[in-house]
Amino acid sequence: MKPLTKTLKSRAETEKLFVPYIMAGAQGLDKLEEEIAMLVDQGAAAIELGVPFSDPVADGPTIQAAGLRAFAQQVTLKKLIEKLQEFRSGAPLILMGYSNSFFHYGIKELVEDLQDTDVQGFIIPDLPYEHRDLVLPDLGDLALLTLVSLTSPKERIEQLVAEAEGFIYAVTVNGITGTGQDFRSDLLEHLAEVKSFSQIPVLAGFGISTNEQVKSFQQVCDGVVIGSKIVQSLAEQGTEKTGELVAEILQ
């Protein structure tokens, strides 16, 4: 069991988990430490850091726009890692990005450079389960997290969760990220099924933006991932106001 898995499993025994997503460098990398500290203060069990990419197939318009702002600030994966080497985050970090970014960097070199950071895992939405061995042998103690979609049949879910690490990212919609989503009427039953198969925490994510939604998903899951709502607030209101918004959503 990898360090991220141990941390989240232990924490999930006593509380519901909150894992926020932010686009690294959307407000400039000089703001990143402040943004991470705010999320830790709001109880983040881990934090997903988006790596800007030119063709983000899983991202909705809010996160795509944040990626463009990060590009305008000349944020690269190399610069992000250099920034993360400068401070301790107070919570495990998870890099969420697309396979081309990581393969271009070089998986072995990436893992080596991340040793001096608090990054403990990866989410790579466009890396199929069947191709996970392209990265797993070089990850060491870093976890490769698993996404389970709404269209996954029972047999596939069992396969996906069997050797999963970190947490299971249970996607709540068919399509891209973003607020204002319409959730399927049988979504809670689906999430409960995923939870029944998993030995590690299951978190619901994509489109979660209100306290009502959080409470609903907490009934059947170990917690939630909240992304677009936080990304939008950081862009429009800054760090302090976003902290207040997160507190309201989680209350």
Q: pLDDT digit string (tens) for 91-103? A: 999 999 999 999 9
Whether 175 shows a pLDDT value over 80: the answer reads: no
Report field, pTM of the whole predicted structure over 0.85: yes
Q: In this predicted structure, what is the pLDDT of residue 176?
A: 53
Count other Cβ atoms within 10 Å, centred on residue 180.
8
Annotated catalytic residue, options 13, 15, 48, 165: 48
DSSP string, 113-163: HGGGSSEEEEE-TTS-GGGGGGTGGG-TT-EE-EEE-TT--HHHHHHHHHT
The residues that bridge with 23 in the sheet, in sequence order, are 50
Confidence of residue 184 (pLDDT cuts 50, 70, 90): confident
Residue 182 is among the residues annotated as catalytic for this protein: no
Instruction: Kindly name the residue from 59, 118, 165, 222 that is annotated as catalytic.
Output: 59
pLDDT tens per residue across span 125-171: 999 999 999 999 999 999 999 999 988 899 999 999 998 999 999 99
Residue 48 annotated as catalytic: yes
Secondary structure of residue 20 in the 3-state scheme: strand
Give, rounded to a whole angstrom, the gap between the first and last alpha carbons of the chain: 31
Contacts of 13 (CB under 8 A, 6+ apart): none
CA angle 131, 227, 157 (to 5 degrees): 40
CATH number of 3-250: 3.20.20.70
- Helix residue spans in the chain (DSSP H): 3-12, 32-41, 61-72, 77-84, 99-105, 107-113, 154-162, 187-197, 211-218, 228-250
